[in-house]
Structure 1
Amino acid sequence: MARYNLRPPSNLQGLPMTDSNAVIDWLLGADPAIRWQAMRDLLDAPESAWQAERAKVEHEGWGARLLSAQDPDGQWDGGAFVPAGFDSQQWKQHGQPWTATCFALTQLREFGLDPACERARRTVELVGAHSRWDEGGQPYWAGEVEECINGRTVADGAYFGVDVSAIVARLLGERLDDGGWNCERCNGSRCSSFATTLNVLEGLLEYERASGGSAQSRQARRAGEEYLLRRHLFRRLSTGEPADPRFLQFLHPNRWRYDVLRALDYFRDAALLSGSEPDQRLHEAVEHLRGRRSPDGTWPLDWSPGGRVWFDMDDGPGRPSRWLTLRALRVLKWWDGAGVASLGTGS
């Protein structure tokens, strides 16, 4: 395969050059879902080159494998959120399953399946016609009831060209006074959740990318970002202590769960869309990310959610993860390239 900008950018040179090259080669030798993103985000390859690689997601590797598991009616495993026939006892014994439609769509978005390709367009149509949410039988693209699920549904729908403005309007009305969101709001919670807030932010960002958003959605997204930034992505506002030790551990796939790498990748994506500079309050999380790099230049998987999956994409906890390494390197390239690493943690 051709290499573009063979020397890694200077802000990827925290390791000896040979190691940086080896890590890039390792990513380029991966599944097309990782390869095209490494070409675009790390090597600044021409768009024609990374788009050609991206097109392979539909027909090769993980993307093709996941698409091959699709039901004739467009769903995966017979359900929107939970597989058909999967009961509470199985959930208790084996953990939450990840094989139903909503998780498959999010995974295809992460892979970068071209929304304009025939298979993606057909999937959107079939899911809209046949899939109903387990909770209340709502049509899939009308959204569910939980903010966490609806945030991801907005992200998936906007990415694949669906009009999700009605779900966005609902989410805007569910924002809490502290600026974020919480799936437990309906049970009385008045404090936002890191995880729910990030799920919604990712959805609002994808909606804004697809449609331009609205003044209200952009304002809500900024307020949600401020909720996370005031907490430096992982600290309690009340005590300054980490809100959850697992926020500092890296997992993949995240599903609905939160960690600081996922949050940093979001803030990078948001800054690139808006043309804004990185916020200095990300500094502490960035330095934690930098400190987690292994001597060989990769980032290891700390854990992954248990439960039924179609297939694994990493070699297990403690082993180098291509997904984490890709995301970490593009975050550091963005951060270091902006020249804000020495600004400190801010306030």
Structure 2
Amino acid sequence: MRVIDWLLDSDPAIRWQVMADLTDEDPDAVARERARVATEGWGRALLDARGEDGQWAGGAHFPNAQPTLPGQPWTSTAHVLTELRLLGVDPADARVREAIADVKRVTRWEYDDEPFFEGEVEPCINGALVTNAVYYGEVDARIVERLLGERMADGGWNCDQERGSVRSSFDTTIGVLEALAAFERVPEQHPEVDAHRVREARAAGEAYLLERDLLRRRSTGEIPKPTYTQLAFPPRHEYDALRALEHFRDVGAVPDERMREAIDLVHAKRRDDGTWPLDVVHGGDAVNDYGAVGEPNRWITLRALRVLRWAGHPLRG
């Protein structure tokens, strides 16, 4: 089976993105396939997991329920909204709008009891929140201003800044960059935010990553964490080379030599059959199982092909 056929023989969340980004199908056909995400497969499972209280797992981020697996409970409201966005659920779908209205009405952050869409305190959490809030049409400009004010001297961001860290982290920086890029796509919604400051902050954060070849410490040349070279879906709060490349693709950057090691790393992980394996699953309870570690994985394959196409590698299979 050709790789494209294998991808299309899958969940609507995979199919519509293949049609849009790899095979350049008619936009109406793409929209029809995308509409199925909320009613079938992984997307429906996530929407069905919402509790009677209107939220997921009873809370925003760290609900009282303990995970049965090591790690975070990825079934909570913040994480499920991220996962639905990655699946590409139509934010205008009636079930999605009902869910967002309920979250806006009842969900509050465990840290400070503030309403969900007004944000938390850590930039890693607020970065994901802003990206999701833009997607679902609920962005609060005050969180964007907070992120702009939390940029560190080296150009990036770090959740441990309030605990004394003086250096940015890859993990927090990529989350904030995704948020700023999303916010830049809807400037008309919040003209009170200085668009130049947003662009400047995103450029500084991107420079932070590029100066490190997307993978390495600037001081020692070492790769800070093994997970930076391990491809995961969903990425959760973790950084990896493919996630970074996806960001630069999404903002329309031109690939250059500073991205070469990351691009080569992704390319080298391709199996002989033209697929990519799942390298790691970030632990914790989850609604959906997206595949076994070490096995061919449709999400990683879709994302890798999309990035390599942008980077100038011909699409095969």
**Rounded Cα–Cα distance in structure 1 between residues aligned with 2:226 and 2:79:** 25
**Rounded Cα–Cα distance in structure 1 between residues aligned with 2:167 and 2:60:** 28
324-333 vs 21-30, greater mean Cα deviation: 21-30
Work out which of the residue numbers 259, 270, 277 in structure 1 matches 2:251: 270
Equivalent residue, structure 1, for 2:15:
35
**Aligned partners of 1:234 and 1:244 also within 8 Å:** no
RMSD, matched Cα: 1.6
Gaps of 5+ in 2: none
Counterpart residue identity of residue 226, structure 2:
P
In the alignment, does 2:81 pair up with 1:101? no
Equivalent residue, structure 2, for 1:118:
94
Residue correspondences, number? 309
Equivalent residue, structure 2, for 1:85:
65
How many angstroms does 1:74 deviate by? 2.3
Equivalent residue, structure 1, for 2:121:
145
Work out which of the residue numbers 278, 283, 286 in structure 2 matches 1:301: 278
Equivalent residue, structure 2, for 1:164:
140
**Rounded Cα–Cα distance in structure 2 between residues aligned with 1:240 and 1:300:** 27
In the alignment, does 2:161 pair up with 1:180? no
SS for the counterpart of 2:109 is coil
How many angstroms does 1:262 deviate by? 0.8
Q: Deviations over 1:182-210 (max 9, x none)?
A: 00000010100000000111111111123
Q: Structure 1 residues 43 and 196, CA, compared in 2 at 3 Å: closer, same or farther?
A: same
How many angstroms does 1:337 deviate by? 6.1
**Rounded Cα–Cα distance in structure 1 between residues aligned with 2:233 and 2:313:** 26
How many angstroms does 1:243 deviate by? 1.9
Counterpart residue identity of residue 289, structure 1:
V
In the alignment, does 2:315 pair up with 1:334? no
Q: Deviations over 1:210-262 (max 9, x none)?
A: 33671111110111011001001111101112222221111121110111011
**Rounded Cα–Cα distance in structure 1 between residues aligned with 2:22 and 2:137:** 27
Counterpart residue identity of residue 255, structure 2:
P
SS for the counterpart of 2:154 is coil
**Aligned partners of 2:57 and 2:65 also within 8 Å:** no
**Aligned partners of 1:268 and 1:334 also within 8 Å:** yes
**Aligned partners of 1:95 and 1:307 also within 8 Å:** yes
In the alignment, does 2:4 pair up with 1:24? yes
Q: Deviations over 1:259-303 (max 9, x none)?
A: 1011111111111xxxx4223311111011111100010111111
**Aligned partners of 2:63 and 2:110 also within 8 Å:** no
Q: How does 1:211-250 map to 2 (within 5 A)?
A: 211=187, 214-250=195-231
Q: How does 1:192-207 map to 2 (within 5 A)?
A: 192-207=168-183
SS for the counterpart of 2:185 is helix
**Aligned partners of 1:83 and 1:99 also within 8 Å:** no
In the alignment, does 2:40 pair up with 1:60? yes
How many angstroms does 1:24 deviate by? 0.3
How many angstroms does 1:124 deviate by? 1.7
TM-score calculated relative to the size of structure 2 = 0.94
**Rounded Cα–Cα distance in structure 2 between residues aligned with 1:283 and 1:85:** 43
SS for the counterpart of 1:183 is coil
Q: Structure 1 residues 94 and 289, CA, compared in 2 at 3 Å: closer, same or farther?
A: closer
**Rounded Cα–Cα distance in structure 1 between residues aligned with 2:187 and 2:38:** 24
Work out which of the residue numbers 68, 71, 79 in structure 1 matches 2:51: 71
Equivalent residue, structure 1, for 2:288:
311
